[in-house]
Every structure is written in C-alpha cells, then in structure tokens.
Amino acid sequence: MILDEQQTAARTWFEQLRDLICAEFEAIEREAGSDARFDYLAWDRADPSGEPGGGGVRGVMKGRVFEKVGVNVSTVGGTFEGDFARTIHGAGEDPRFFATGISLVAHMANPHVPAVHMNTRFLATTKRWFGGGADLNPPLPIAEDTEDFHATLRDACDRHDPAHYPRFKQWADDYFYIPHRGVHRGVGGIFYDHLEGDFAADLAFTQDVGRAFLDVYPRIVRRRMHLPFAEADVAQQREWRGRYAEFNLVYDRGTLFGLKTGGNVDAILMSLPPVATWG
C-alpha cells in the first residue's frame, strides 16, 4: 500500500509506541528474574478486491510477571464487504478504507496486578479520525491503583481539552459494560472515537494517551507484582477473566472489526486470557 503523509505519521507513532512498551515490559521481567521476551510474527492481509491489503506484526510474551501479554500493530486497507461498510463512520457511500493502530492486552500472573487494555488507532474512509483509549481491569481492585490510573489519564486529557476526561471516562464506563451480567468489565479509564478535524492536534492527543499509559501501567505493575496471593485470589482472577472473555467475544467492536476485515485471527483473539473459569 502507498501511504500519504498523515497515514505514515500515524503508523510511525504506533510502531514507536509498540517498541517503547515492549521494552518496558521486558525490563519488568528482567527485574523479576525472568528472561522472557516478546515473540514477533508478521502477517499479511489479503483484501477481497485482490489488491494488497497490508498486514501487521503480532507480539506476544509469556513470562513470570506477564502471564500473557500481546502487543499488536497493524496497517491495513482495501474495501469493506457488503453491509458492514454502512456500520463504519464515513464508509456508507464509499467502502474503501485505511486503518492503522496498536492494540494491547496484558493478563498478569499475580492476581493483585491488574490486567489492562490499551488501543489507539487512525482510520480513513471518506472521513478521517482517531479513536481508542485505555482501561484497567483488576480482578482484585485496589483504590490506589484505580486513582493513579485515572489521574494520569486525566492529566493527559487536560493538556488538550478539560472536557475530554469527563466525556471520555463516561464513554468508557458505558462501553466497557457487560449487559447480560449487569457489571462493568473493570474500573474504567477513557474511551474515545471519531476524533476528527485537526489531524496534528488529534495525533498529539493520541500520542499523549499512549505516553500516559506507558507512564502509569508499569508503575502499577511494579507496585504489586511481588505481593503474596492465595488460591482464593487465583480463583477470583480466573472467574473475572471469564467475564473479560465474554465481553471481548460478544460486545467488543475491535474484535468484530478485525474479523470482518480479514485480520489475523490469532492477533485479534490475543486479548483472550490464557486460563479462565465459568461458574
């Protein structure tokens, strides 16, 4: 695919952020006495039109602290098939699209360390916009961690628009909810979509969301990764992971987008926990 200046700038940032995050997560494993590292697998996407459809790189690490963490980047483009185009912002009249982004999910070995999700992306149809966010998913919530996570995201938002944090926090609360259980997936964060208008300003905000995540989440991991835990804590962690899997398979828009656009199935489903229980 031939990328324009905006598409190249977004892709470059997401790949840079991937490298920074993976290096930090590997450093945490070193601190825990583990030599675990990310394994990377590149994949290519075949567009239904027959034109080159882009691809991505799936990165997965299984270590002493990170039981399973996936950090994926992808840059894809082509044509949406059938009715799916009408569900995407700006694609109803013209089904051609471009998408680039980073997606991260970490499931932790210690139940006291919260799982986490972070995704930011740039899409282009007849419109161009950024979306994404980050949310904390502790099996055993700790108020200090929740407050730290939200305060760091709030600071990132406030540097751009004081209205961002309350709006995007509420969006996350509404989105990361499991209706059939009547519970939220975690303790929230921020979620935004269709951020469009000034490309440079929107990219800068998206970059600050990524930097805020890189600042706060490793700090929380280091704070909790050595805490002792019991079998009852593991049981609660695995039951919570079942709820996480339910949300991602039933309600998550990113999962649906990846599957509908011919993405790499293993990369799309890397968000699922390594071990979970139900009932």
Please tell me whether residue 265 adopts helix, strand or coil conformation.
helix
Residues 6 or more apart from 116 whose CB is under 8 A from it?
A: 104, 105, 106, 134, 135, 136, 137, 213, 217
Mapping DSSP to helix (H, G, I), strand (E, B) and coil, where does residue 77 land? strand
Residues in the chain, total: 279
Nearest residue to 271 via CA among 140, 106, 113, 121: 106
Q: DSSP alpha helices (H): ranges in 114-162?
A: 143-158
Closest-CA residue to 47 (of 97, 83, 5): 97
Say if CB 42 and CB 55 are below 8 A apart: yes
Helices (H), the chain: 5-31, 143-158, 164-175, 199-224, 231-250, 253-260, 265-268
Active site residues: 117
